[in-house]
């Protein structure tokens, strides 16, 4: 069974283009392994300069997906935000570059879900999402996702 996490836009798209590799949340998760990135919010309330820069820097168009799965990543770690530092040095275990820092909420008490192995879907797949982390993707949607790997 494939699991998913719902993110508001533009954060789901930022993960799908590789601009954002960490997701910040208030609670820890026990989920490890593949997890679908689901774009949940129905509207985008203004665009921050950091988001514009992330898309332009990668030559990507800003097109939002709503109510669909846009990518699959490997959620491999969950750490408290206090373990991380902002750094412009090459990424180490607990260093976060300025761009990544600007795209998340690294306030004390938050959790950092660390991801890797991005697999962006060529065609986003419509799917109803849920607020919890690690909700189960319906079998018919999972089949469509796996066909794009």
* Burial class of residue 72 in the structure, from the number of CB atoms within 10 Å of its CB (0-12 exposed, 13-18 middle, 19+ buried): buried
pLDDT higher for 98 or 122? 122
Any alpha helices (H) in 58-118, and if so which ranges? Answer: 98-102
The pTM for the full model equals: 0.91
Model confidence pLDDT, tens digit, residues 11-46: 999 999 999 999 999 999 999 999 999 999 777 777
Quote the pLDDT of residue 119: 98
Quote the pLDDT of residue 123: 96
Reply yes or no: is the peptide bond before residue 4 cis, omega within 30 of 0.
no
Mode of pairing for the β-strands spanning 33-39 and 3-7: parallel
Q: Domains of the chain, with CATH numbers?
A: 3-147 (2.30.130.30)
pLDDT higher for 52 or 93? 52
Both tokens of residue 126? Answer: 């419509």
DSSP symbol at 138: P
Quote the pLDDT of residue 63: 84
Both tokens of residue 29? Answer: 């998760």
């Amino acid at each position: 069974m494939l699991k998913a996490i719902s993110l508001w836009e533009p954060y789901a798209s930022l993960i799908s283009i590789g601009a954002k590799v960490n997701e910040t949340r208030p609670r820890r998760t026990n989920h490890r392994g593949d997890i679908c990135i689901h774009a949940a919010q129905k509207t985008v309330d203004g665009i921050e300069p950091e988001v514009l820069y992330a898309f332009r820097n990668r030559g990507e168009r800003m097109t939002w997906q709503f109510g669909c799965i846009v990518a699959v990543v490997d959620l491999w770690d969950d750490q408290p935000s206090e373990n991380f530092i902002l750094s412009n040095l090459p990424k180490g275990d607990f260093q976060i570059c300025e761009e990544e820092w600007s795209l998340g909420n690294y306030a004390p008490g938050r959790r950092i879900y660390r991801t890797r192995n991005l697999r962006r879907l060529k065609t986003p797949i419509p799917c109803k999402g849920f607020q919890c982390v690690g909700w189960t993707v319906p079998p018919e949607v999972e089949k469509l996702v796996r066909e794009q790997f």
